[in-house]
Amino acid sequence: MKKLRIIKAGTTFSSTLAAFGDFEDWILAGLGKAALPIEVFDVTKGVSLPRTADCLGIIVTGSHAMVTEELPWSLGIERWIPDLVGSETPFLGICYGHQLLGRAMGGQVGYHPLGRELGTVEIRLEPDADGDPLFAGIPERFLGHSAHSQSVLLLPPGAKLLASGVHEPHMSFRIGKAAWGVQFHPEYTAAVMNADVSEDANNAGCRNEGCNGSVETPFAAMVLSNFAGIVSRRLADSAG
């Protein structure tokens, strides 16, 4: 049976996990009430990746690992991504998943030259986001939660830049018809963002005033509900 597959690429901090759950829990909440069959694959524990033909869509979560560590499970996802893009299977990479998409399709990933970005930041849509279904209903400028040390330093050939920020020029891009990466975290609540900040010993790269005063980011969160809509329409089309 075809399902929306969430590829779990890591686990949050233990204290955050105990209080708020994990990456996939926040993603599931953000997808909303779309009647989609969903399955989580924790590839960090050796679970095999699903067949592309069995996927209605794919979401790759964030991670505390680094793409450039080239861990075996990470390289497995990276090798799989071009097939997903070629098949036009809806794909959403969040933070780590965004970076994997970038590198898998020929971009460059590494440590951001200005250091870590941590906190609630302003994001600006670029002209190519006009009409893009992932950003439907989202204003030109909105707030999003960000927590990353590495970035897509060079976009893949043919990628369309959809969003940028002051610190991070490649906040979102699309490659092909249905593969998106977002460097920010549409699944984070303000409480989760604050928990990330409190775990960061030096508050290095904090980009919002006070950091612990994070606010909710409803427009960033719409990325997940919009993606659920994209996958739902694919399901409806296949049923018809």
User: Active site residue: 95, 145, 168, 211, which one?
Assistant: 95
Specify whether 185 is catalytic: yes
Q: Check if 209 is active-site.
A: no
Q: Is 55 a catalytic residue?
A: no
- 3-class DSSP string for the chain: CCEEEEEECCCCCHHHHHHHCCHHHHHHHHHCCCCCCEEEEEHHHCCCCCCHHHEEEEEECCCCCCHHHCCHHHHHHHHHHHHHHHCCCCEEEECHHHHHHHHHCCCEEEECCCCCEEEEEEEEECHHHCCCHHHCCCCCEEEEEEEECEEEEECCCCCEEEEEECCCCCCEEEECCCEEEECCCCCCCHHHHHHHHHHCCCCCCECCCCCCCCCCCHHHHHHHHHHHHHHHHHHHHHHC
Catalytic residue among 126, 148, 187, 211: 187
Catalogue the active-site residues. Answer: 95, 185, 187
